[in-house]
Amino acid sequence: MVYDRFMAICHPLHYLVIMNPELCELLVLVSWVIIVLHSLLESLIVLHLAFCTVLGIPHFFYELNQMIQLVCSDTFLNSMVMYSVALLLAGGPLIGIFYSYSKIVSSIQGMLSAQEKYKAFSTYASHLSVVSLFYCMGLGVYLSSAVTHSSHSSAKAL
């Protein structure tokens, strides 16, 4: 989506040539392959772990980091793989989004007509709201699950 907005605002004359249906299909295919490989990696990480006899997760949403906390053996390597993949899958697109947003803002500032600026900014603002909503909600879910898990573990210790 961000690449589409980047091409539409920064290179409007080349938009129809570059954003052809084949490229859109390729972008969707690449995202599906990444999702499948990430799911396979998470499944392989969980398959070889040795769990304790008492298993209980206080949530209905089973995340990999909650599963790893139930393991009786050393999980340093699993945690490193999990955090590096999360950094790669979340940080890579975020860097690309910030780069394209900076190019879009500089392109909007260079426009002469107020009508062009308004049209470009309205396209940019809708995408910015969707991306910020996605990242903020994801961050909220992960932070709230970490807080909830720590409060449950401290409650069990009492």
> Domain-by-domain residue ranges, the chain?
2-46+74-151
C-beta separation of 63 from 149 below 8 A: no
Q: Identify which of 107, 132, 138, 135 has the alpha carbon closest to the alpha carbon of residue 120.
A: 107
* pLDDT tens, residue by residue, 131-148: 788 888 877 777 776 565
Rg (CA), the chain: 21
Its pTM stands at: 0.65
Which residues face 51 on adjacent strands? 71
CB atoms within 10 A of CB 51: 12
> Which has more pLDDT, 58 or 78?
78
pLDDT computed for residue 34 by the predictor: 92
CB atoms within 10 A of CB 32: 10
* pLDDT tens, residue by residue, 26-38: 989 999 999 999 8
